[in-house]
């Protein structure tokens, strides 16, 4: 995974912290409930000694909140990172017995910042049997989940799976992509889709 992280780096020289380290501690803090860069920095700082021992780093000072903002904004492209994490979790998932992949859109917690006019949303692929999110892709402002569904599905290991989605994704293009990938597709049908209702 280290080699893939290098692909996400931008031309930002002179940084005190490696991008891989910042990503790792960010994920650790987020998993434990930190919702923003200030909370991430505080969580990491309190556990600095344990983090140095766990990750084998020699940083005397942990990153401040502005370091997370600068480094992540300048060095990480969101969709690229999502694909990277998705590939990694796909490798982990190969050792897990999970037959169902659930597709769902979510509004991100802590996404209503001082410089945002609205909340951010993403579309996720989730393994409900084991509680693992395989991948997330952002939903650009002014669009909806349908437009980003192909981007979410493309890298997922769907062979032999059963894919579930709500009525919004009862779309021919989505079902075709899922079936072509070797999975079965179950979508909800509403009354405003009379043709599909007659097939049940």
What percentage of the chain exceeds 90 in pLDDT?
A: 24
- Distances from the Cα of 188 to the Cα of 123, 165, 169, angstroms: 17, 7, 8
Q: Which residue has the higher pLDDT, 9 or 186?
A: 186
Give the pLDDT score at 185: 93
Which residue from 88, 67, 65, 68 is spatially nearest to 5, judged by alpha carbons? 88
- Inform me whether the pLDDT recorded for 172 exceeds 70: yes
pTM: 0.57
Q: What is the mean pLDDT of residues 83-97?
A: 62
Q: How confident is the model at residue 9 (pLDDT cuts 50, 70, 90)?
A: very low
Give the pLDDT score at 23: 87
Pairing status of strand 184-187 against strand 162-165: parallel
Give the pLDDT score at 20: 85
- Inform me whether the pLDDT recorded for 114 exceeds 90: no
Give the pLDDT score at 95: 57
Give the pLDDT score at 116: 46
Give the pLDDT score at 73: 79
Q: How confident is the model at residue 85 (pLDDT cuts 50, 70, 90)?
A: low
Extents of the domains making up the chain = 2-75, 98-197
Which residue from 79, 48, 83 is spatially nearest to 40, judged by alpha carbons? 48
pLDDT tens-digit map of 63-76 = 999 988 888 777 77
Q: Which residue has the higher pLDDT, 41 or 107?
A: 41
**What superfamily does domain 98-197 belong to in CATH?**
Ribonuclease H-like superfamily/Ribonuclease H (3.30.420.10)
pLDDT tens-digit map of 147-157 = 999 988 988 88
- Per the prediction, the chain carries an average pLDDT of 78
Which residue from 5, 137, 18, 128 is spatially nearest to 82, judged by alpha carbons? 137
3-state secondary structure the chain: CHHHHHHCCCCCCCCCCCHHHHHHHHHHHHHCCCCCHHHHHHHHHHCHHHHHHHHCCCCCCCCCHHHHHHHHHHHCCHHHHHHHHHHHHHHHHCCCCCCEEEEEEEECCCCCCCCCCCCCEEEEEEECCCCEEEEEEEECCCCCHHHHHHHHHCCCCCCCCEEEECHHHCCHHHHHHHHHCCCEEEECCCCCCHHHHCCC
């Amino acid at each position: 995974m280290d080699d893939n992280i290098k692909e996400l780096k931008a031309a930002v020289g002179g940084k005190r912290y490696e991008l891989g380290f910042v990503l790792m501690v960010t994920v650790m803090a987020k998993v434990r409930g930190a919702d923003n860069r200030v909370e991430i920095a505080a969580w990491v700082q309190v556990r600095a000694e344990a983090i140095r021992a766990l990750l084998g780093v020699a940083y005397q000072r942990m990153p401040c909140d502005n370091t997370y903002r600068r480094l992540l904004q300048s060095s990480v492209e969101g969709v690229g990172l999502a694909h990277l994490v998705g590939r990694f979790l796909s490798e982990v998932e190969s050792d897990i017995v999970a037959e169902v992949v659930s597709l769902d859109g979510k509004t991100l917690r802590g996404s209503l910042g001082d410089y945002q006019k609205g909340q951010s949303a993403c579309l996720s692929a989730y393994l409900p049997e084991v509680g693992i999110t395989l991948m997330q892709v952002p939903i650009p402002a002014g669009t909806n989940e349908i437009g980003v569904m192909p981007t979410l599905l493309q890298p997922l290991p769907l062979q032999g799976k059963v894919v579930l989605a709500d009525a919004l994704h009862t779309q021919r293009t989505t079902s075709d992509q899922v079936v072509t990938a070797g999975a079965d597709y179950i979508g909800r049908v509403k009354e405003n889709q009379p043709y599909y209702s007659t097939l049940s």
